[in-house]
C-alpha cells in the first residue's frame, strides 16, 4: 500500500503548507495487521507471521538484504558479528521467513520476514552471500547454501 498526502496549493502552484512525505507500507497483510504495523514497526517489520526461534540478528536494522536480479545473487549485509557458523538456510515461502541452521545444531530465525519486493529473487537463490561490513567497508563474508522449504537438504562441508 502506498499512502500519499498532498497539501493544497494556490493558483500560482505554490504550496500553502509543505507537502507531507509519502509513506510506503510494503506489506500484503490485512487491515488489522496494518494497525499493528504502525504500533510495532521496529518489531519484525509488523509481521503477523511470528516465529518462536531465537533471531540471528537482534533487530531488522542490523542487516539489509540486497538482490542483484541481473546475476541472480542475493546478499545479506550485516554489521554485528555472527554468533554462530551457518551450515545452510531454509526459506519458507508460506511464512516468508528464513530459518538458519548452524553447524553446532542451533536453529535460528533471520530476524524478519522477507518483504514482497525481494521474495521472487530470494526464492530463486541457491546460495546467499552473507557479508559483514563496517563503515561501508567489507570485513568478511561467507557463501551459504539455501533451500526452499520442502526441498532436500543441501550437501555441506561440515
Q: Is the pTM of this model over 0.85?
A: no
Contacts of 56 (CB under 8 A, 6+ apart): 82, 83, 84, 100, 108, 109, 110, 111
pLDDT of the chain along its 158 residues, tens only? Answer: 333 334 444 444 444 444 444 333 443 444 444 444 343 334 444 444 566 899 998 888 899 999 988 888 999 999 999 989 999 999 999 999 999 999 999 999 998 899 888 898 888 889 999 999 998 899 999 999 999 987 665 565 55
Contact 133, 75 (CB under 8 A): no
d(CA 123, CA 146): 9
Query: Residues 7, 67: one domain?
Result: no
Query: Residues 9, 26: one domain?
Result: yes
Query: Residues 55, 116: one domain?
Result: yes
| pLDDT value at residue 109 | 94
Query: Residues 83, 108: one domain?
Result: yes
Total structural domains within the chain: 2
Query: Residues 58, 14: one domain?
Result: no
Note whether residue 74 is domain-resident. yes
Note whether residue 32 is domain-resident. yes
Q: Which domain holds residue 17?
A: 1-40
Note whether residue 103 is domain-resident. yes
Query: Residues 31, 92: one domain?
Result: no
Query: Residues 28, 102: one domain?
Result: no
Scanning the structure block, which residue is given the C-alpha cell 567489507? 138
Note whether residue 84 is domain-resident. yes
Note whether residue 73 is domain-resident. yes
Amino acid at each position: 500500500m502506498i499512502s500519499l498526502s498532498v497539501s493544497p496549493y494556490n493558483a500560482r502552484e505554490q504550496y500553502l503548507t509543505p507537502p507531507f512525505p509519502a509513506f510506503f507500507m510494503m506489506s500484503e497483510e490485512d487491515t488489522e495487521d496494518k494497525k499493528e504495523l504502525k504500533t510495532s514497526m521496529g518489531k519484525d517489520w509488523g509481521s503477523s507471521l511470528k516465529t518462536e526461534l531465537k533471531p540471528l540478528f537482534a533487530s531488522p536494522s542490523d542487516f539489509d538484504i540486497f538482490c542483484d536480479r541481473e546475476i541472480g545473487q542475493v546478499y545479506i549485509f550485516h554489521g554485528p558479528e555472527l554468533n554462530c557458523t551457518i551450515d545452510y538456510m531454509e526459506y519458507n515461502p508460506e511464512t516468508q521467513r528464513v530459518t538458519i541452521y548452524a553447524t553446532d545444531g542451533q536453529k535460528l530465525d533471520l530476524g524478519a520476514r522477507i518483504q514482497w519486493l525481494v521474495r521472487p529473487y530470494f526464492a530463486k537463490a541457491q546460495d546467499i552471500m552473507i557479508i559483514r561490513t563496517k563503515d561501508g567497508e567489507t570485513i568478511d563474508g561467507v557463501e551459504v547454501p539455501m533451500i526452499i522449504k520442502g526441498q532436500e537438504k543441501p550437501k555441506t562441508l561440515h
